[in-house]
Amino acid sequence: MYKVLIADKLSNEALAIFKENGIEAITKTDLDAKSLIKELQDCDGLVVRSATKATKEVIESCKKLKVIGRAGIGVDNVDLDAATSNGKVVMNTPFGNSITTAEHAITLILSTARQIPYADKTTHEGKWEKSTIKGVEVTGKTLGIIGCGNIGTIVAQRALGLQFKVIVFDPFLQDKRAIELGVEKVALDDLLKRSDFITLHTPLNEKTKNIISKEAFKKMKKGVRIVNCARGGLIDEVALKENLENGHVASAALDVFIEEPPKGSPLLGTKNLILTPHLGASTTEAQEKVAVQIAEQISDYLKTGAITNAVNTFSLTAKEYQSVKPFLKLSSLLGGFAGQLTENAIKSIQIEFEGTAANVNSAPLTQTIIYSLLKPTTDSVNVINSVLVAKSKSISISEVKHQKENDYQSLIKLTVTTDKQTRSVS
């Protein structure tokens, strides 16, 4: 019988899934590293949320461990390099929190519009500031969404229902998809100048770090309201404080911070600033979804070898792996290089395999290329779901295999077509 350690609390429904699949699931939470290693010695699987740390020491000390499941999106608490080098599959549940996070963003948008936290606080203090607390309507206002992936799309749909005019900055959003959503695709500067409200839903990387900078604030309307439920580091926190204090920004709400908890942050105590402790995924429904999903995924893997939502590997038989192995690193480098060169919405991806490369199982190579290509701009993408994520963005994918060798024994060529240009790397 397989055995799984639940190191952070899971729902009874998730535990029932393990039982139904004949897997022994034991729950022991709040373990330090030494205790965690001890408990894992006879376990095949480990389930964590965000509290438990699957460090290099833990992973290397547990030879029997086969799979680590993260009930949620982020895997910062799992040493992926150690897991990969030690042959441990790491899975997450990238879509279980999307609705919950989007709804939290909408909640904060409305709270900034009507000063709800301040009104609540002063009323509890025995004050009656009905005449001094004045908000704004959202109907007819312009909401600027920075990043229109899975969560950004849900926010856009909800905002349209509130009769916002929605404009979006996302270089990877196709014009066709924007029309389907009923939003206007604009440049970042245009969004900053036109928006009454701004909400961020983009990954944190070198291109997006401090995307709301000191200079960006200067381009915004006086009285703008800003919400961030995505990642700490997207907003220059010092500049935000300055613009709240001088009245250029009417109100802001943050669920994420550069450092969490934000002890000693200059933002603490700032007037007209709503702060929540990273509650984006904290609903009963979201926690239930991710718990059930990870239980199902781990059960499938242990019983059948099926891999779902892996962040460090993909599904292959042992024989296939040996034939594909020489081309995996090349595929990762090709996709990553093309991703660095791509700054506009991708329309199509064509991958050509020639010679020996045309005779192996190309699925993991294609998945690896697309994952590496999309990774800089898409939080929820992993090797397993990369093709589905690309298709959800209306990106056309094609494979071409040339059995005949030309100048090289093996060749892989990647061609990426965007709204602006076509580039090829090989």
Q: What is the set of active-site residues?
A: 231, 260, 278
* Closest CA relative to residue 106, chosen from 208, 216, 197: 197
Contact of 94 with 294, CB cutoff 8 Å: no
Q: List the strands of the sheet with 273-275, edge to edge.
A: 184-185, 165-169, 142-146, 197-200, 224-228, 249-254, 273-275
d(CA 252, CA 274): 6
Q: Angle, to 10 degrees, between the axis of helix 98-114 and the axis of helix 116-124?
A: 60
- What is residue 390's three-state secondary structure? helix
Contact of 232 with 238, CB cutoff 8 Å: no
d(CA 16, CA 33): 27
Dump the DSSP string for 147-195. --SHHHHHHHHHHHHTT-EEEEE-TTS-HHHHHHHT-EE--HHHHHHH-
Dump the DSSP string for 100-124. HHHHHHHHHHHHHHHTHHHHHHHHH
